[in-house]
Amino acid sequence: MSIKQISVFLENKPGALYAMTGVLAQNKIDMRALSLAETSDFGIARMIVDDVYKTTTVLRDAGYIHSLTPVLGVAIPDVPGGLNKVLQVLTDAKVNVEYMYAFLGGETGGKAYMIFRVADNNKAANALEYRGIKLVEPEDIQRL
In this structure, what CATH number is given to the domain that contains residue 60? Answer: 3.30.2130.10
| Distance between CA atoms of residues 30 and 21, nearest Å | 10
Domain end among 51, 69, 87 = 69
Span 35-87, pLDDT tens digits = 999 887 889 999 999 999 999 999 999 999 999 999 999 998 888 999 999 99
- Per-residue pLDDT at 95 exceeds 90: yes
pTM of the model: 0.88
pLDDT of the residue at 109: 64
When divided into structural domains, the chain yields a total of 2
pLDDT of the residue at 144: 65
Domain end among 28, 50, 69 = 69
Span 99-121, pLDDT tens digits = 999 887 655 567 888 999 999 99
pLDDT of the residue at 103: 82
| Distance between CA atoms of residues 106 and 142, nearest Å | 10
Span 11-29, pLDDT tens digits = 989 999 999 999 999 999 9
Domain end among 48, 69, 90 = 69
Residue-range definition of the domain harbouring residue 64: 3-69
